[in-house]
């Protein structure tokens, strides 16, 4: 069944994709500023939909109150993990008393985390509105499956966001949080590709370019998770009192694999860029190549220069956008009409 999608619906899908990316980037900014626990509860912030700006409005024992609530939520989550076979992880969570440590109120951190959540709400409404529009007007099997899956994963992501807060930012929960975010990006990209397909120019990529797109896409996906492992190691080193100048020497195997994979991606993308310029000259390939250069540049600055935290956010931004561009290319190259953004 073929639909002619309205301009509003196409714009809604693109806008929702932008907000999803903003959530990922805002989350990175929250992490580098240490604002992840700026709101000790979820979905409200200090029990309010609009958080306070002064500690004086909070009860004197607010730390004990939220520590108690956190303990109950951790116990419920630990019980859930036991039921699905992760007894060791559940027991480790129960015995980790650092999860119950409450931070002092900090207005800047509270509002940084609050803005991150606002982006999440806007992205959530976008996904919900798309689902409603699909059910009411564009009810093809593919669109219903994509819109429903995206809404379900988003609800799971929202629930897991509360777990991330409850466990006081345990590293593995942050990694899983990123994985769910990438799944949402993939589903939203598929929706964007579907509704924008009729506006695409007819371009065909060579078999070599198609193959290299998939190879680089898969390595980029792995790189994103290696990057989270490196970030987890940095968080640990910071807690141990290591300054930035000593990070590289203590980051371990994930960092060196992450760095080595960057060279593999660069070689593969460089060859694909050369093939593209030689034959097809597709803009989407050139865009991916330039994004990779920016990502590698920010990675070098992070590893060897005393750069501000915003470089970390830029590094994640370029990596996730590169992933999205490559995924779009991989999907569109499998069709007769190929997107040429």
Q: pLDDT by residue (tens digit) across 126-185?
A: 999 999 999 998 888 999 999 999 999 999 988 887 777 667 666 677 778 888 888 999
**Looking at 199, 219, 251, which one is the last position of a domain?**
199
Q: Output 242 or 224, whichever has higher pLDDT.
A: 224
Query: What per-residue confidence (pLDDT) applies to 283?
Result: 85
Q: CA-to-CA distance for 58 and 38, rounded, in angstroms? A: 14
pTM over 0.85: no
Query: What per-residue confidence (pLDDT) applies to 336?
Result: 45
Q: Output 165 or 257, whichever has higher pLDDT.
A: 257
**Residue matched to tokens 């994004």:** 291
Is the per-residue pLDDT at 9 higher than 60?
yes
* Average pLDDT, integer, range 313-322: 86
Query: What per-residue confidence (pLDDT) applies to 337?
Result: 43
Rg (CA), the chain: 22
Domain count, the chain: 2
- Clarify whether residues 45 and 93 are in a common domain: yes
Query: What per-residue confidence (pLDDT) applies to 199?
Result: 47
Percent of the chain with pLDDT over 90: 19
- Clarify whether residues 189 and 210 are in a common domain: no
Q: Output 5 or 251, whichever has higher pLDDT.
A: 5
- Clarify whether residues 69 and 171 are in a common domain: yes
Q: Where are the alpha helices (DSSP H) in 107-252?
A: 107-136, 141-166, 171-196, 207-239, 247-250
- Clarify whether residues 161 and 214 are in a common domain: no
Q: How confident is the model at residue 81 (pLDDT cuts 50, 70, 90)?
A: confident
Q: CA-to-CA distance for 307 and 50, rounded, in angstroms? A: 33
- Clarify whether residues 206 and 325 are in a common domain: yes
- Clarify whether residues 164 and 211 are in a common domain: no
- Clarify whether residues 219 and 129 are in a common domain: no
Q: How confident is the model at residue 11 (pLDDT cuts 50, 70, 90)?
A: very high
Cβ-based neighbour number of residue 304 at 10 Å: 9
Domain with 240, as residue range(s), is 200-341
* Average pLDDT, integer, range 43-60: 86
216 vs 175, 324, 327, CA distance in Å? 21, 12, 10
For 23-37, 181-195, 212-226, which range has the lowest pLDDT when averaged over its residues?
23-37
Nearest to 255 by CA among 273, 229, 276: 229
The first and second tokens of residue 218, run together, are: 């898969």
Is the per-residue pLDDT at 340 higher than 50?
no
The first and second tokens of residue 90, run together, are: 């559940």
Q: Output 341 or 324, whichever has higher pLDDT.
A: 324
169 vs 63, 84, 172, 179, CA distance in Å? 17, 21, 8, 15
Q: How confident is the model at residue 244 (pLDDT cuts 50, 70, 90)?
A: low
Query: What per-residue confidence (pLDDT) applies to 21?
Result: 93
- Clarify whether residues 275 and 316 are in a common domain: yes
- Clarify whether residues 137 and 284 are in a common domain: no
Q: CA-to-CA distance for 164 and 12, rounded, in angstroms? A: 29
- Clarify whether residues 13 and 41 are in a common domain: yes
Is the per-residue pLDDT at 277 higher than 50?
yes
Sequence-distant (6+) residues with CB within 8 A of 183 are 153
- Clarify whether residues 41 and 109 are in a common domain: yes
- Clarify whether residues 170 and 257 are in a common domain: no
**Looking at 199, 217, 245, which one is the last position of a domain?**
199
Query: What per-residue confidence (pLDDT) applies to 295?
Result: 86
Q: CA-to-CA distance for 322 and 327, rounded, in angstroms? A: 8
- Out of 52-56, 231-235, 255-259, 299-303, give the one with best mean pLDDT: 52-56
**Looking at 167, 199, 231, which one is the last position of a domain?**
199
State the DSSP code for 58: S
Query: What per-residue confidence (pLDDT) applies to 339?
Result: 44
Query: What per-residue confidence (pLDDT) applies to 34?
Result: 74
340 vs 28, 193, 204, 247, CA distance in Å? 30, 11, 10, 41
Percent of the chain with pLDDT over 70: 86
């Amino acid at each position: 069944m073929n639909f002619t999608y309205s301009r509003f619906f196409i714009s809604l899908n693109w806008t929702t994709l932008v907000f999803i990316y903003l959530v990922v980037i805002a989350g990175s900014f929250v992490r580098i500023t240490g604002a992840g626990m700026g709101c000790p509860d979820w979905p409200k912030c200090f029990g309010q939909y609009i958080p306070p700006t002064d500690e004086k409005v909070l009860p004197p024992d607010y730390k004990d109150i939220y520590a108690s609530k956190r303990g109950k939520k951790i116990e419920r989550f630990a019980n859930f993990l036991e039921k699905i076979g992760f007894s060791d992880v559940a027991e480790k969570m129960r015995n980790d008393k650092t999860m119950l440590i409450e931070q002092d109120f900090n207005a800047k951190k509270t509002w940084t985390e609050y803005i991150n959540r606002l982006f999440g709400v806007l992205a959530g409404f976008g996904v919900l509105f798309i689902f409603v529009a699909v059910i009411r007007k564009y009810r093809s099997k593919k669109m219903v499956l994509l819109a429903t899956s995206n809404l379900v994963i988003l609800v799971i992501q929202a629930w897991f966001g509360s777990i991330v807060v409850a466990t006081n930012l345990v590293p593995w929960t942050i990694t899983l949080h990123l994985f769910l975010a990438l799944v949402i990006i993939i589903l939203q990209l598929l929706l964007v590709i579907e509704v924008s397909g009729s506006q695409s120019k007819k371009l065909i990529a060579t078999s070599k370019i198609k193959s290299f797109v998939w190879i680089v896409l898969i390595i980029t996906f792995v790189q994103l998770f290696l990057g989270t492992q490196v970030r987890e190691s940095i968080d640990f080193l910071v807690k141990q009192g290591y300054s930035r100048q000593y990070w590289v020497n203590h980051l371990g195997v994930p960092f060196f694999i992450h760095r080595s994979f960057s060279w593999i991606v660069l070689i593969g993308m460089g060859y694909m860029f050369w093939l593209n310029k030689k034959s097809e000259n597709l803009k989407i390939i050139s865009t991916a190549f330039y994004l990779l250069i920016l990502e590698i540049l920010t990675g070098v600055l992070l590893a060897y220069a005393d750069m501000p935290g915003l470089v970390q956010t830029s590094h994640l931004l370029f990596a996730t956008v590169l992933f999205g561009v490559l995924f779009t290319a991989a999907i569109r190259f499998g069709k007769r009409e190929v997107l040429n953004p």
